[in-house]
Amino acid sequence: MTSSDPQPFDLPRTPPLVLRGRTFDASTPAVMGIINRTHDSFFAGNRHADLDSAKRALDDAVDAGADIVDVGGVRAGQDGEVVSAEQELDRVLPFLAHARTTYPELVLSLDTWRSEVAREAGRIGLDLVNDTWSGHDPQLVHVAAEIGAGVVCSHTGGLPPRTDPVNVTYGPDPLDVVRDVLRTLADGARTAVDAGIPAERVLVDPTLDFGKTTAHSLVVLRHTADLAGLGFPILQALSRKDFVGESLGLEANDRLEGTLAATAVAAWLGATVFRAHDVRATRRVVDMVATIRGDRPPVRAIRGV
């Protein structure tokens, strides 16, 4: 090993993500703080139906080191409550307006599958559309281009919004799910670029738990490095998810350590954007992994000098 070749082996890297004039890559990974404007999020620690509560959560996320804040107005899974587009807008627009005024440089993301919601939010100055449901609304990617936002391309196994997976299969080979994820994300990213979104604003997200069993999510996580071959920055949304809970036999409130372990693995394998409930802990983990990889220098290195 020479000083010009300090890496023990080749580590996966993806092109940078550029949003609101900020650049995120292997040396500067991004933490996306989650703000759920709902009363029924699967994680009770992130329920902010009250606007004042959401504002406090925003301040906390920024103080803890969030680069991006992702707000959602509808629970991802089924719970019997129907949320209209109008209700979703009532939940997310006041928060986005406050966030944009309070933190002008903060990257703002909206978790929605509805193009009409994204278009209205774009009037405030939206930077990213987090399409968690894999292009269910084909106009959403065009609206993102229209408002100058980036987009997250996801994989849900073909399931429509708010569908909990049941009896999901991808084929006899355990790697069939990885192949399906790669194919779907490649198609989604190509659609986004063709719609006019610059490649530097397109993220790919394997979307663990969505349309997947725990076994599927674990094998996809192990193959995070394969996503780097798609040529787009990788988002991993791992925070307190069921695959962590089922792996360890824990409920959502006790899944932090498992989440951080999965986060470290994903970061080592090339993911650079991390959607998280626990911003401070995630910030420290991804920065440490970036430093171990050799992508980010230590804040100080004076020991023994």
Q: What is the mean pLDDT of the chain?
A: 94
pLDDT over 70 (residue 162): yes
- Report yes or no: 45 and 32 within 8 Å, Cβ to Cβ: no
CA dihedral (105, 189, 277, 159) in degrees, to 10, reads 140
Confidence band, pLDDT 50/70/90 cuts, at residue 237: very high
In angstroms, rounded to a whole number, what is the distance separating the alpha carbons of residues 112 and 132? 7
pLDDT for 79 equals 67
pLDDT over 80 (residue 1): no
Percentage of the chain exceeding pLDDT 90 = 89
The per-residue pLDDT for range 262-279, each reduced to its tens digit, is 999 999 999 999 999 999
pLDDT over 80 (residue 4): no
Domain ranges of the chain: 27-293
The per-residue pLDDT for range 49-82, each reduced to its tens digit, is 899 999 999 999 999 999 999 999 999 877 667 8
Strand partners, 69: 33, 108
Confidence band, pLDDT 50/70/90 cuts, at residue 44: confident
| CATH H-level, domain 27-293: superfamily | Dihydropteroate synthase-like (3.20.20.20)
Residue type (1 letter), 9: F
